[in-house]
Each structure stands twice: as C-alpha cells, then as structure tokens.
C-alpha cells in the first residue's frame, strides 16, 4: 500500500497567503494585460482613423492640385491657341491682301493685253475686210451659184444706219438680187456665240427692211476659214448656210434634212 506524501508546508497558513496573493497577482496581471490590449486596440483604431483622415485629406489636396494644374494647363493652352489663331488670322489677312493685290495687278495686265488685242484685231479686221473684197466675195457669188442662187450684186462690209449717226448693224458681206438678200458674217473660226449674234443681227435687219418697204426674203450665212464640228452643226441647225474654206477656195453648204434654210420674211 502506497503512502501519500503531504508537503510539510501545505497546511502552513503563510503558504496559503502566499498562494492567494500569487493568484490575486495573476488575476490582476490578466486584467492589466486585457486593459492594455483594449487600450492598444483603441489607440490602433484612433491611429487608423487618423491615418484615413490624413489619407483622405492628402487625396483631396492632390485632387485640388491636379485640378489647379489642369486649369492652369487649359489656361495656357487657350492662350497659346488664341495667340496662334491671331497669328494665323494676321497671316491669312496678309495673304488675302497679297492675293487681292496680285488679282488687281493681273486684271490690270489682262485689261492692257485686251486693249492691245483689240487693237491688233482691229488691224486684222481691216486686213480681213480687204481679203473679203478681193477674194472671198467673188468666190461667194460663184459658190452660191452652184447651189442655185444667182446674186447680181455683192458688197463688202456694208452697214445699216437709222437716224443721223446710229449704226444698226454691220456685216462682212451682202449679196442680193431681185427677190433675195444674203447676209454673210465671216470669222476666222466662228464660235457659237458668233452664230447667236448673227441671228440677232438678222432679226434687226428684217425689221429695218420692213421699215424701208423691202419685202425681199432675207437669208443668213456664216463664213469661216475653220469650223469646229459643233459650230458647223449649230449654224446649219439654225438655218444658216455655211461657207468654209476648201482647198484654195470656198464652198457653200446649204442646210438640209431636218435643218431647212431659215428665211427672214
């Protein structure tokens, strides 16, 4: 049988007090440790909240600075764009003024060239009239005879006048007989505008003839050294006879088919 060994101090009142004090001290230590942990938690929470507030404040400050930087950038960019735009407007205005100046200068030169050309054309017209008198008109009478016209008279560059000095019309060649009059307009290369103008001339001459009691049939012809295909067709379509160069002479072409000769009566 085993015998229990009881420490000699177990029943010692001082030992009991010591153990009670030790237990109390341990409990107090636990309470203090718990209190310290709670205090640390509270401080950590406070620190975290403070850190959050600081971080938020820093972010707001950064946003304000970024916004200020953007506004300053926009301000500088707008100023630069405005300055460049003003410079562009100044350059554009200068270029426009230079263009207008050159345009006026070109116009002045063109007008001068046109005056010189008018003078040259006037001289050419005089020479052409001389050629009509010497060569074209005799050939016109001959060529129109081939297509059935017998003109007894032919004149170069006659003009018609009303009143004292008002010239109604001037033509390059005039051929006539007892019942018909042929009015011929001659160009080196007739244009459609020339043909349109000859229609107006024929209308005026018809009115003039009626005033003078001339009841003969008036016919029109367009003569040229060279014809474009379009001008030739246009003249024939409008009822004009076409007189064009053919070798060393001229030939007269009558409108035919759907294009009947037009008579001003």
pLDDT given for residue 240 in this prediction: 97
173-187 confidence digits (pLDDT tens):
889 999 999 999 988
Q: Strand, coil or helix: what is 63?
A: helix
In a domain, 235, yes or no: yes
Give the pTM: 0.51
Determine the Cα–Cα distance for residues 166 and 156; give it in Å rounded to an integer. 20
Secondary structure of residue 257 in the 3-state scheme: coil
Q: Is residue 69 part of a domain?
A: no
Within a domain: 75: no
Domain count for the chain, please give it. 1
Tell whether 61 is covered by a domain.
no
Question: Do 236 and 255 form a contact (C-beta atoms < 8 A)?
Answer: yes
Residue 129 has what pLDDT? 47
How confident is the model at residue 133, as a pLDDT?
47
Summarize pLDDT for 71-98 with one digit per residue, the tens.
888 888 888 888 888 888 888 899 889 9
In this predicted structure, what is the pLDDT of residue 126?
47
Residues of the chain with pLDDT below 70 are 1-11, 114-136, 158-167
Residue 139 lies in a domain: yes
Looking at residue 10, its pLDDT comes to 60
* pLDDT (0 to 100) of residue 176: 94
The answer to whether residue 192 sits within a structural domain is yes
- Whether 34 is covered by a domain: the verdict is no
pLDDT of 165: 59
Supply the CATH number for residue 196's domain.
Answer: 3.40.1350.10
Contact present, 190 and 235 (Cβ < 8 Å): yes
Query: Is residue 263 domain-resident?
Result: no
pLDDT at residue 130, rounded to an integer: 52
* Cβ atoms of 147 and 254 closer than 8 Å: yes
Range of the domain at 189: 129-253
Cβ-in-10-Å burial (0-12, 13-18, 19+) of 77 comes to exposed
């Amino acid at each position: 049988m085993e015998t229990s060994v009881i420490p000699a101090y177990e029943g010692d009142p001082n030992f009991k007090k010591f153990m009670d004090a030790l237990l109390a001290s341990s409990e107090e230590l636990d309470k203090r440790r718990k209190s310290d942990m709670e205090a640390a938690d509270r401080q950590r929470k406070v620190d975290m909240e403070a850190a959050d507030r600081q971080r938020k404040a820093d972010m707001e400050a950064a946003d304000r600075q970024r916004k200020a930087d953007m506004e300053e950038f926009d301000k500088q960019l707008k100023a630069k764009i405005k300055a460049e735009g003003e410079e562009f407007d100044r350059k554009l205005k200068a270029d426009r003024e230079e263009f207008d100046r050159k345009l006026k200068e070109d116009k002045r030169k063109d007008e001068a060239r046109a005056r010189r050309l008018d003078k040259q054309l006037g001289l050419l017209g005089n020479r052409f009239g001389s050629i009509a008198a010497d060569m074209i008109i005799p050939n016109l009478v001959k060529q129109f005879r081939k297509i059935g016209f017998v003109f007894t008279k032919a004149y170069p560059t006659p003009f018609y006048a009303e009143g004292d000095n008002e010239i109604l019309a001037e033509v390059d060649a005039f051929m006539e007989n007892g019942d018909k009059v042929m009015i011929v307009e001659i160009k080196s290369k007739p244009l459609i505008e020339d043909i349109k103008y000859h229609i107006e001339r024929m209308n005026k001459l018809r009115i003039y003839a009626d005033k003078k009691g001339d009841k003969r049939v008036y016919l029109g012809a367009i003569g040229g050294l060279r014809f474009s295909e379009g001008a030739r067709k246009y003249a024939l379509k409008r009822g004009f006879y076409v007189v064009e160069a053919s070798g060393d002479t001229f030939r007269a072409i009558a409108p035919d088919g759907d294009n009947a000769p037009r008579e001003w009566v």
